[in-house]
Chain A
Amino acid sequence: MEIKVNGKVYPVDVEDSMPLLWVLRDVLDLTGTKYGCGVAACGACTVHIDGVATRTCMLPVSAAVGKEITTVEGISTAPGLSAVQRAWIDHQVPQCGYCQSGMIMAVEALLDENPDPSDDDINGKITNICRCGTYQRIRAAIKTAAQYRIQSIATDQPSKS
């Protein structure tokens, strides 16, 4: 079968039932998407499938065939970073950093759907687990990212720094 990840088509010779997470990580070596729990409870494995934030550790790869899959490796539009990534740097969100790919993907999708989320909207939609407890900075960064998107500052595309 073939899957399309970050705009690129990959032929993959795997079982239909193999979760997308493991196809990304162990077959395509796209390791930005993380394994945290395997039961879709922690959100570390979140990617976008046709723009919808999806936990991939229990999702059969066959369900993603013919769809646009976007991972953390695909959200920065070269050479720049996305508004969310920039806000993550502004607020110095990551500590150990392991959950942050999934967090960022969940937040990108939240802002696509709801450009100016309230605290309750954030609490309802961002249910990922961060063991380092970076939630306060995540909340602040979501609000900054929302502003960046609204002001279209993101199109400036500064380089990663």
Chain B
Amino acid sequence: MKRRAFLITGGVVGGGLMVGVGGLSYVNNKIEQFSGTGMGEGHSLNAFVRISPDNIITVAVSKTEMGQGVYTSIPMLIAEELEVDLSQVKVVHPQCEGPYANLFFANMTPRDFENGLTTMEKVFSFLPNVMTGGSSSIIDSYDHMRIVGATAREMLIAAAAKDWDAKTEDCYADNGHIHNKLNGQWKYYGELAEKASKEKAPELPQLKARSEFKIVGKPSKRLDVPDKVDGTAQFGLDVRLPNMKYAAMRHPAFVAGKIVSVNNVAQVESMPGVDKVVIIDEGVAVVAKTTWHAKNAIAALDLEEKEHPELTRKDAISSLKKVLEGEPAKVWEDEGDIETVLENAEKVITSDYEVPYLAHACMEPLNCTVLVNGDKAEVWTGCQSSTFVLNGVSEGTGISKENIKTNITYLGGGFGRRSETDFVRKAAKVASNFPGTPVQLVFTREEDMKNDYYRPAVVSRLTAALGNGNILGMKKKVAGQGPLFQMMKRNIPFMPMNQEDDQMATEGMRDLPYKMDAAYTDMSCIELPVPVGTWRSVGHSQNAFFTESFMDECARELGKDPYEIRKEMLGNEPRHLDVLNKLAEMSNWKSELPEGKYRGIALHKSFGSIVGQVVEISIQDKNIKVDKVFCVIDCGKIVNPAIIESQMQSGIVYGLTAALYGEISVKDGKVVQNNFPDYQMVTMKTMPEIVVSIIDSDEYPGGVGEPGTPPIAPALTNAVFAATGDRVRSLPLARHGYRFV
């Protein structure tokens, strides 16, 4: 394999591959030039579409499927323009190659196909940065994948026209056939694929108007669901290879600690089913005949451990509170003159909030399977980034990336935890000890929970200037660790970032949609040894709790209805206003609730989408029943409303679980929580009814995987305040003696 060499000679450096008009010329390159194997039978029309003689359309989906529905929504975009039925489509995940890079992350803005790639987009193609996350899959794909489908369609039309000696304008594509409208002749795509593959791709094909869509915008059934109901869907942990061995590992018990020595290697190696104790920098693994033998063996390891000196002395939250009192590291927002507005206010109110560390707790514990064979390696795992998979295997084995083949399986949940290299690198190091034998490394649930990159614990102080019955200004201070800062340092070390420049720490805290005379946000940073990372909705997950709770506090202070005050302040934001009004209407906000029932509201924009939620609860003593959640989303143009609905439900349950129970605590230098019994989840019993309404707007699509999560915590605690007068300013609610029924 020489793909990187190919990219350099034919690519960015040579100026041809990535830099053509509209940045599209690489579409001319066929799948086999990139990901030669595993792409199915037939002839490829570009780097994403291959058509077999029996009319199977294989599409390369470069985003990983972790439940968010990309193995359906992205094929829908291609199929729409290619004029094929989704039932003809088969999805494969390509190798880590330039055309499959997520270019949204280059500038945090969708690509401009008319004007070509920006410098950063070229860099991201060249790396390449193949990554699924930040709710960016549809943002990155909405235009791109339709263009890919349309390009293939035009090539099929051109091939048919040649065959029939007809004009291309007399031919059209419909339902997997090219027709000649003059004489009624038609051919299957499968018959034309070989000739079409030799046609030149049009630079920028004509795309359909939304009014012509047959697939996009409608609730297509998911392509991955059949395999997920009969046990055949393959997750990373389901990979089975001939002569495979199974491994488990112990990480240091102390956070950021160290295993100094292993005292009983020989004893553990003599346990039944055990092959070998493998000591790596990150911990101690045992390779065995089955996962169970490996699990038993790691439990039997007698380890000498060293704690991290700082963590046994320091409590994270009190350290953060101290930092918040000092000078901020960076001012992120300074609109108007906040100090003057505060000085002149009729009344000033201030509240401090805090949230704890949170674990991702994907249902499928982290795992990775690696086969090292001489100077080549192959890897099987569910990871949000094949770039990180290549990095991890290369770091762990010393094998160069062009000699590594990736197999990206379904992910049993990602939520940001699988946008890391650690589990891949560790598996690669362990497998290096068994050349020629595939080794599957799994983190037990306990190791998974204790060795997460947690949602940071964060404290904040919000101050509002009130006057004339309004909020005149808001000063927001936040202190915490930077999740993106750490994630970049770990995984993309050649792109260093200062912690105070971590935009994810203040996202959703600044740039609020509410019109005020002054708005100010700053960030104070702290270096703590607790590893943090990206957790579903990242900074928004706590910042929406801070700001939308505080909006409620301001409304109460002013004697205003929490819906009305938002409405008054959203004069310049028609999309927010539409979401809010729709939410009030569907939740019947102005109606009286039956006795013992209360409601709360929150509104938040994240990942390009605006979501509003109203939560209805019943409460008796400290027993809360979350009865119902109304949810309205404006995510711009809709691709699959059924998936949007399920992502709203999913995001709400994820955020609700955190709001009720979620807390990772560090005591005596160790993570306290072990497993689901002490890291509780919402279940059928505690699940509210969720009603979702989607506003179909004409805006460019936003994300849907994460935006459902941020508003639920403040909507819930605002309802608790309505019920009890108890303003919950720190999560989870369980910490305050509430129970959930």
Contacts and interface: CB of A to CB of B under 8 A. Distances in A.
A36 B445 contact: yes
A93 B231 CA distance: 14
Q: Indicate the member of A33, A89, A136 with the most B CB atoms within 10 Å.
A: A136
Given A37-B445, A132-B413, A135-B682, A81 B677 contact: no
A129 B222 CA distance: 22
B689 A96 contact: no
Contacts of A14: 290
Contact of B677 (A25, A36, A39, A71): A39
Interface string A3-40: 00000000000110011001001110111111111110
Nearest to A72: B231
B444 to A, nearest CB: 6
Contacts of B285: none
Contact of A129 (B69, B652, B676): B676
Contacts of B445: 36-39
Contact of B682 (A122, A133, A138): A133
Contacts, number: 182
A34 B237 contact: yes
B290 A138 contact: no
A71 B231 contact: yes
A92 B363 contact: no
B231 A96 contact: no
B206 to A, nearest CB: 33
A42 B228 contact: no
Contact of A127 (B240, B362, B684): B684
Contacts of A132: 67, 363, 413, 650, 653-654
Given A81-B229, A100-B229, A126-B684, A137 B363 contact: no
B461 to A, nearest CB: 32
Interface string A114-126: 0000000011101
Nearest to B691: A136
A89 B290 contact: no
B209 to A, nearest CB: 28
B59 to A, nearest CB: 19
Given A37-B675, A38-B444, A98 B235 contact: yes
B229 A135 contact: no
Contact of B412 (A15, A26, A96, A138): A96
B238 A31 contact: yes
Given A15-B272, A18-B292, A92-B221, A135 B231 contact: no
B230 A137 contact: no
A76 B229 CA distance: 10
B364 A34 contact: yes
Contact of B222 (A34, A92, A160): A92
Contacts of B229: 81, 85, 88-89, 93-94, 100, 104
Interface residues of B, number: 64
A14 B654 CA distance: 39
A72 to B, nearest CB: 4
A98 B413 CA distance: 8
A145 to B, nearest CB: 11
B642 interface: yes
A96 B66 contact: yes
A161 interface: yes
A133 B626 CA distance: 15
A97 B228 contact: yes
Interface string B85-104: 00100000000000000000
Nearest to B688: A136
A123 B66 CA distance: 26
B363 A130 contact: yes
Interface in B623-664: 642, 646, 649-654, 657
Nearest to B651: A133
B365 A36 contact: yes
B291 interface: yes
A131 B291 contact: no
Contact of B226 (A30, A96, A160): A160
Q: Tell which of A33, A39, A95, A129 has the most Cβ of chain B within 10 Å.
A: A95
B237 A35 contact: yes
B230 A97 contact: no
A96 B682 contact: no
A83 B390 CA distance: 42
A36 B231 contact: no
B234 A31 contact: yes
Contact of B292 (A26, A39, A95, A137): A26
Contacts of B222: 92, 94
A52 B365 CA distance: 26
Given A15-B272, A96-B364, A133 B652 contact: yes
B542 to A, nearest CB: 19
Among A38, A72, A128, A138, chain B packs the most CB atoms within 10 A around the CB of A38
Interface string B13-42: 000000000000000000000000000000
B228 A136 contact: no
Nearest to A71: B231
A94 to B, nearest CB: 4
Interface in B144-179: none
Contact of A96 (B221, B234, B272, B410): B410
Interface string A56-89: 0000000000000001110010000100010011
B260 interface: no
A13 B664 CA distance: 41
Contacts of A161: 87, 226
A75 to B, nearest CB: 8
B413 A32 contact: no
B339 interface: no
Given A35-B365, A36-B363, A126-B684, A134 B230 contact: no
B365 A96 contact: no
A41 interface: yes
5 contacts: A89-B229, A92-B642, A94-B229, A97-B225, A135-B683
Given A36-B676, A92-B646, 9 more contacts: A31-B231, A31-B234, A34-B235, A36-B364, A98-B362, A100-B228, A134-B646, A134-B649, A160-B230
> Which 7 pairs across A and B sit closest by C-beta, in order of nearness?
A32-B231, A133-B653, A98-B412, A96-B67, A97-B228, A95-B67, A72-B231
Interface of A: 14-15, 18-19, 22, 25-27, 29-39, 41-42, 44, 71-73, 76, 81, 85, 88-89, 92-101, 104, 122-124, 126-139, 160-161
